[in-house]
Amino acid sequence: MNKLMFFLGLLSISTSLTAQVCKHQLRGKVVHAHTKEELPNVSIVVEDENKGVLSNEHGEFIIDGVCEGEHSVVCSHLGFRASHRIVRLQSDSLLIVSLEPEALHIHEVTVSAEAIEQKSTNTSTVIQGTLLERSRGQGLGEALTEVVGVQTLKTGSSIAKPIIQGLHSNRILILNNGVRQEGQQWGMEHAPEIDPYIADKLTVVKGANSVRYGADAIGGIVLVETKDLPTKKGIHGALNLAGYSNGRQGGASLYLEGRLSDKLPLAGRIQGTFKRGGNLKAPNYFLANTGVREHNFSYEVGYKKERYGINLFYSQFNTELGIFRGAHIGNLTDLENAIQSEVPLIMADFTYQLDRPLQRIMHELTKVKGFVRTGEKGKLKWQYARQFNRRQEFDAHRQFGELSDEFDLPNMEFEITSHSADVVWQHYPIKNFKGEIGVSFIHQRNTTDRGGLIPDYKSYTLGGFWLERWKNYPFPLELEAGIRYDFKRLNIEGRRGEEDQQLDFGNVSGSIGAIYHLSHDWHLNFNFGTAWRSPNISELYSDGVHHGTASYELGRNDLQSELALNATLTVEYDNEKNLGGSLSLYHNFIKNYIYLQPQERPILTIRGAFPAYHYEQTNARLIGADLDFHYHISEHLEWQGQLAIVRGHNLKIDDYLVLMPSDRFKNAIKYEFDEGTILKNSFVKLGMQNVLKQNRIPEGGDFAPAPKGYTLFDLEMGTNFSLGKLPMEVGLNVENLFNNTYRDYLNRFRYFADEPGTNISLRLKLIF
Amino acid sequence: MELKFLFNSKLLSITFLLLTSVFLFTACEKDDDDDEEEEVELITTLELTFDDGSTTQAFTFQDLDGDGGNAPSIDDITLSSNTTYNVSIRLANDSETPSEDITAEVMEEDLDHIFIFTPGAGLNLSAQITDQDSNGAPIGLSSQMVTLGASTGTLNVKLKHEADKSSPATTGETDIDVTFNVTIQ
């Protein structure tokens, strides 16, 4: 029975990103099965949504924001046999639960109630289920583009960083399993070091909001969340296999998880991913040296009682990325030659062999977290994490003399070690208020062991926040407000005999938001938030030629912190029959926006003259709209659409901001088949993406005009069936269906080569 | 019951101890290579030596602090008209002591390197590479330059790496790209 529910729970994972309605209320009452007396303090948990409450003195409970669909609900209380129920939610529902007293002896009941998650007043979108499955074989950045308003900033085809509402790199905060991802985010060719297979759920929170997680969230936050450890006895797991025609890439990911017993509530999981790909192919030629090798693993162990729990997590990410050979240039003339040429100046055939130029990155996360329930009032959570990141870059240009085949001499090497500690106290509702208060501390040491691009430094960050939510159901308004203060100190070691420097940055952030339920179908979200970030080390201190872009970049150590003021209004509609969607309008004003300003005079070097840029500050404004909707034309046929528009302005010099995504539309027609006796959840989907040409680019500073707009088609099919008793999911995906030749403005290698052509992929997931 | 609980908590502590030790063993550390900071190899100096058979003159392009910082110093070249010069090139990294000779390293990898000499418009000078790599293709460490009548202009010297030696101007990576002002009198 438990097994069946486990599978039902898995199958009920939503397959749709936007169609999911998560506003239902599950209300109910818990009574003694024989005496019918009302039972207070019973834990009621919607397992698959990780939501839970305790019943009040009358045995009543309310759980808000529950998604449409089937849920596994567990009610448990000391001295009673836990009740497991499958609840099918289509609208607000009432649930009456009778608990049988434990006849023989009182044994410990494990409660899986975690933090009472609250829907953000910011616009947030969740990627999980099939949507996550189909895209995660290609990396985290790619997976996030399922969300309207999220694009990727690419360097070739193997490096992709998320852009949220026009902002990327240090203006996006990525939380990997609850820990701020700390690598060398400042680099445009530095992709997030996270295995997408580690994630059970990706959440994109758009808009500035520093309050909960600290600095850097100027454009938004990406939350990478792992699955909770199992709460039932037994061993389970899943195997994912994915193969791609382009690059002849293959990948496999496996996890195994289990739990000992109710007496010893110790649970664990091990997970590993392996990926290997060779040279990708544009419609007319192979892209030299674009292969990838990746192997990642993680493990997690948790011990959880009702009143306290502790959890250990470790993950390691290792990747080797070939950098497109045709993009490596020595000076400006080489760049101009490459731009002039219709095809890359260096050609290759297919190979899995990786050669210089190359990046090799290792990222390690070790985390210990725990909680203690503090009486009936709340819960104290703490977390310590250590991260280590090593980034090695190998230039194509061999230095004179012997070149080692083993790549043991990178041209650049950065190592960063971060320690972070967080303590948060969450309180349960007190007179309609619930919230959390916390402090965090981060210590970092970053060294540049080779290349000397940035100086060595240490940084210390101390922050504290307080966030409260007011809600008085059924009153249709919810309010949220928060405040935070952070202080950051950078100790920079002088290079080449320069003096050491100390820089201090501090800032107050705040946010206020509201959700108003206009009617059952209509909802309004408003959020006003601030965020800040201190200038990063390369903006402060870089001084040298940036290879690949043939430009000389000069940092400034008198830069001030960036400060963002963001207002977002979202209207959501869902009639739960055939039409649903949301429209977000946002205005993001960024004071002291840091950007590269072209200098009049080039810098003369022995390799010729390079155009020079220095970091400058301005006030910037980003305004935009994100729209997505789905409409059921008939019972089987659904139309899905997305539209993202963003405009970025440099207000001081009245010009555009560089690297802003151009307007783009997505349309898809999805046909869902009737449930068969063997095949379930079968569908075919034809998608079309239109990307317009970016005509709004700043004057000067670019080497070639923005490429033309393009239209791409893709086809997707998926189904579920059982292999013996084991559920299996199969998906077939064809990207760039018609093998169109195009280049994208947001790809930094657009000067050198076309984007990859058709890519057919097959993925299998076996759950056991 | 008591015993069982004890056993469980013991088992638990052992498990945690084991796991913690796994953590300690697998945690990666910074390389201990703080002292070995290595800069990318620099070419700071390009020296052209002109030999007309009786006298030799040397002209240099030198940028001791590498890219950026202080501007490079570039000698102006003065040559006699209607003269044939044997020209040799010396490359060095003078930012180190002792100075590192890079000419020999180019010579060692002669198949991968080629110099290109481009006289600017108006300068009455022509250049011809005289040395050859093992495939019989030009290198350019040695060349012959012939001046005609008095004139002024520029001479551009490029060193290309992994270029196609039949069309070096548009292929390969540029290691050196230096322009001298030249007066022929």
Q: What's the complex ipTM? A: 0.81
Q: Do A136 and A143 meet the contact criterion of CB atoms below 8 Å apart?
A: yes
pLDDT recorded at residue B11: 61
Is residue A349 classed exposed, middle or buried when 0-12, 13-18 and 19+ CB atoms within 10 A define those classes? exposed
Q: Closest CB to B67: pick one of A334, A395, A552.
A: A552
pLDDT recorded at residue A498: 82
Task: Give the best-scoring range by mean pLDDT among A598-612, A684-698, B102-116.
Answer: A684-698
Asked whether the predicted pLDDT for residue A329 surpasses 60, the reply is yes
> Which residues in chain A touch residue B46, judged by CB atoms under 8 angstroms apart?
606
- What is the average pLDDT across B137-144? 95
Asked whether the predicted pLDDT for residue A12 surpasses 50, the reply is no
B129 close to A (CB below 8 A): no
Q: Which of residues 136-165 of B touch A (CB under 8 A)?
A: 161
**How sure is the predictor about A116, in pLDDT bands with cuts at 50, 70 and 90?**
very low
Amino acid at site B61: F
Q: What are phi and psi of A100, to 5 degrees?
A: -80, 130
* More confident call, B131 vs A41: B131
Q: Closest CB to A607: pick one of B20, B106, B177.
A: B177
pLDDT recorded at residue A408: 64
Three-class HEC string of B39-85: CCCCCCEEEEEEECCCCEEEEEEECCCCCCCCCCEECCEEECCCCEE
Q: Which residues face A664 on adjacent strands? A: A644, A691
Q: How far is B115 from chain A (nearest CA, A)?
A: 13
For residue A378, what is the enclosing H or E element? strand A378-394
Token pair 């206020």 is found at A512
> Which residues in chain A touch residue B20, judged by CB atoms under 8 angstroms apart?
312
- Cβ-Cβ contacts under 8 Å between A and B: the total is 129
Q: Closest CB to A303: pick one of B12, B44, B46.
A: B12
Asked whether the predicted pLDDT for residue A551 surpasses 50, the reply is yes
* More confident call, B128 vs A89: B128
Is the previous residue joined to A602 through a cis bond, with omega within 30 degrees of 0? Answer: no
pLDDT recorded at residue A4: 40
Q: How far is B36 from chain A (nearest CA, A)?
A: 8
Contact yes or no for B67 and A545 at CB 8 A:
yes
pLDDT recorded at residue A170: 92
Best mutation target, B17, B91, B156, B174, to test chain A (most A CBs within 10 A): B174
Q: How far is B54 from chain A (nearest CA, A)?
A: 30
Q: For residue A90, give both structure tokens.
A: 């289509």
> Which residues in chain A touch residue B71, judged by CB atoms under 8 angstroms apart?
604
pLDDT digits (tens, 9 = 90+) for A125-170: 888 888 888 888 888 988 999 999 999 999 988 899 999 999 999 9
SS3 of A272, please? strand
Q: How far is B143 from chain A (nearest CA, A)?
A: 20
Contact yes or no for A400 and B36 at CB 8 A:
no
What is the pLDDT of chain A when averaged over all its residues? 87
Q: Going along A451-519, which residue ranges are E strands?
A: 457-471, 477-492, 501-517
Asked whether the predicted pLDDT for residue B22 surpasses 90, the reply is no
Contact yes or no for A604 and B71 at CB 8 A:
yes
Q: Do A746 and A710 meet the contact criterion of CB atoms below 8 Å apart?
A: no
> How far is residue A625's CA from residue A584's CA, in Å, rounded to a whole number?
5
Asked whether the predicted pLDDT for residue A117 surpasses 50, the reply is no
**How sure is the predictor about A8, in pLDDT bands with cuts at 50, 70 and 90?**
very low
> How far is residue A211's CA from residue A217's CA, in Å, rounded to a whole number?
9
Give the alpha-carbon dihedral of A125, A437, A168, A542, to 10 degrees: -170
Q: How far is B58 from chain A (nearest CA, A)?
A: 17
**How sure is the predictor about A496, in pLDDT bands with cuts at 50, 70 and 90?**
confident
pLDDT recorded at residue A21: 61
pLDDT recorded at residue A114: 31
> How far is residue A511's CA from residue A513's CA, in Å, rounded to a whole number?
7
In 3D space, the residue among A405, A396, A401, A399 whose CA is nearest the CA of residue B108 turns out to be: A401
> How far is residue A313's CA from residue A241's CA, in Å, rounded to a whole number?
24
Q: Do A503 and A557 meet the contact criterion of CB atoms below 8 Å apart?
A: yes
Q: Do A277 and A354 meet the contact criterion of CB atoms below 8 Å apart?
A: no
Provide, rounded to the nearest whole percent, the portion of chain B with pLDDT above 90.
54
pLDDT recorded at residue B18: 66
How many other β-carbons are positioned within 10 Å of the β-carbon of residue A477? 12
Show the domains of chain A with their CATH numbers. 23-99 (2.60.40.1120), 123-223 (2.170.130.10), 224-262+273-767 (2.40.170.20)
- Angle (nearest 5°) at CA A32 between A28 and A37: 85
**How sure is the predictor about A218, in pLDDT bands with cuts at 50, 70 and 90?**
very high
pLDDT digits (tens, 9 = 90+) for A459-493: 999 999 999 999 887 788 999 999 999 999 999 99
pLDDT recorded at residue A495: 80
In 3D space, the residue among A554, A550, A592 whose CA is nearest the CA of residue A701 turns out to be: A550
Ordered by start, the domain boundaries in chain B are 2-29, 41-184
For residue A384, what is the enclosing H or E element? strand A378-394
Contact yes or no for A411 and B61 at CB 8 A:
no
> Which residues in chain A touch residue B23, judged by CB atoms under 8 angstroms apart?
312, 314, 366
**How sure is the predictor about B33, in pLDDT bands with cuts at 50, 70 and 90?**
low
**How sure is the predictor about A15, in pLDDT bands with cuts at 50, 70 and 90?**
very low
Chain A residue with Cα closest to B61: A606
Query: How many angstroms from the chain centroid is the CA of residue A23?
Result: 23
> How far is residue B113's CA from residue B139's CA, in Å, rounded to a whole number?
6
Contact yes or no for A449 and B36 at CB 8 A:
yes
pLDDT digits (tens, 9 = 90+) for A507-532: 999 999 999 989 989 999 999 999 99
Q: Closest CB to A449: pick one of B33, B72, B174.
A: B33
Provide, rounded to the nearest whole percent, the portion of chain B with pLDDT above 70.
79
Q: Which of residues 6-35 of B touch A (CB under 8 A)?
A: 8, 11-12, 15-16, 19-20, 22-23, 26-31, 33-34
Three-class HEC string of A151-191: EEEEECCCEEEEEECCECHHHEEEEECCEECCCCCCCCCCC
Contact yes or no for A301 and B19 at CB 8 A:
yes
Q: Do A367 and A178 meet the contact criterion of CB atoms below 8 Å apart?
A: yes
> Which residues in chain B touch residue A341, judged by CB atoms under 8 angstroms apart?
170
pLDDT recorded at residue A19: 40
What is the pLDDT of chain B when averaged over all its residues? 84
Q: Closest CB to B72: pick one of A303, A448, A604.
A: A604
pLDDT recorded at residue B38: 47
> How far is residue A759's CA from residue A290's CA, in Å, rounded to a whole number?
15
CATH topology of domain B41-184: Immunoglobulin-like (2.60.40)
> Which residues in chain A touch residue B19, judged by CB atoms under 8 angstroms apart?
301, 312
- What is the average pLDDT across A38-46? 84
> How far is residue A66's CA from residue A12's CA, in Å, rounded to a whole number?
13
> Which residues in chain B touch residue A605, judged by CB atoms under 8 angstroms apart?
63, 66-68, 72
Token pair 């430094």 is found at A457
Best mutation target, A340, A390, A547, A606, to test chain B (most B CBs within 10 A): A606
Q: Closest CB to B173: pick one of A264, A316, A328.
A: A328
pLDDT digits (tens, 9 = 90+) for B65-109: 888 778 899 999 999 999 999 999 999 988 888 888 889 888 888
- What is the average pLDDT across A22-46? 80
pLDDT recorded at residue A737: 97
Provide, rounded to the nearest whole percent, the portion of chain A with pLDDT above 90.
57
Residue A38 half-sphere exposure toward CB, CA atoms < 13 A: 11
Q: Do A391 and A413 meet the contact criterion of CB atoms below 8 Å apart?
A: yes
Q: Closest CB to A608: pick one of B37, B38, B177.
A: B177
> How far is residue A411's CA from residue A392's CA, in Å, rounded to a whole number?
8
Contact yes or no for A605 and B72 at CB 8 A:
yes
Task: Give the best-scoring range by mean pLDDT among A302-306, A339-343, A567-571, B38-42.
Answer: A567-571
**How sure is the predictor about A119, in pLDDT bands with cuts at 50, 70 and 90?**
low
Q: Which residues face A747 on adjacent strands? A: A154
B167 close to A (CB below 8 A): no
**How sure is the predictor about A449, in pLDDT bands with cuts at 50, 70 and 90?**
confident
Asked whether the predicted pLDDT for residue A86 surpasses 90, the reply is no
Q: Closest CB to B30: pick one of A447, A552, A608.
A: A447
**How sure is the predictor about A424, in pLDDT bands with cuts at 50, 70 and 90?**
very high
Contact yes or no for A401 and B12 at CB 8 A:
no
